[in-house]
Chains A and B, each alone.
Chain A
Amino acid sequence: MEFSYEVKDSYAEVKADGRLNMVSAPKLREFVTDVIAGGSNRIVVNLENTAFMDSSGLGALIGCLKAARQAGGDLRIAAVQPQVKMVLQLTSMDKVLTSYTSAEEAFSND
């Protein structure tokens, strides 16, 4: 899995490309923690190229959400693909991790 980020006007967009599994989950957590430490507390994780997520990956997203909120911000997810959507729905975490069509849309109404 490859991570990248870009600071936009009102949020930081994190891209996580590949499989978000037990191998990459701790790396995502570390990556987002660093982005928050760099001064961005409004995070959009763009999952457009995240073809797979398991419960470890989901746990990492929840950890990142908590870290963003502790820093006074929030974390939202965007461009969720079918397998990730399925895992979010089956675990009822789609109610906690708000999903948006695109990264631009995620904080557009705030």
Chain B
Amino acid sequence: MTEVLASRSFRGLAAEDAIESVHNDLDSLWLDVPFVQDMDQMTFTTAVIESASNIVQHAEPAGQEPVELGVDITVQPTLLQARVSAYHAKPPFGPMEPATPGEDAESGRGLALIQALVTTVTFERQDGTNTWVLSRTSQD
């Protein structure tokens, strides 16, 4: 069984406040696992916040219930993993492919940035929930 050294979970309405809460959770998580390299902390934090922000900004409710954001982060000896979920959400509209916006574009860089920051990123949709799974293999 895989050893989980530290974890944090957040679930709440997909709203601006949630982003600050998730960021605070990440800051406190790193205090629990000081052996995780600064570069890994920095890249992983950025990827998680990018994904959570994408949900807050773009996820649309599938029915009456508002979209909720869920973020589950685990630290294993050589793996950082986050499941970033949009509950009660419609499937994402449009392609989930990173865009290549022009120099003066003010948006559209998020997906490409996430891909550059983590080792793997996958997307799942199950039971009305969209989930990004972000994994970063720790540097030795």
Contact = CB atoms under 8 A, between A and B. Distances in A.
A23 B42 contact: no
B19 A55 contact: no
In terms of DSSP, what is the predominant structure of the interface of chain B? Answer: helix
Contact of A87 (B16, B20, B113): B113
B129 to A, nearest CB: 21
Given A21-B49, A87-B46, A62 B104 contact: yes
A37 interface: no
B23 A91 contact: no
Contacts of A96: 103-104
Interface residues of B, number: 25
Contacts of B57: 22, 56
A73 interface: no
A52 B109 contact: no
A60 B106 CA distance: 7
Interface of B: 16, 19-20, 23, 38, 42-43, 45-46, 49-50, 53, 56-57, 103-107, 109-110, 112-113, 116-117
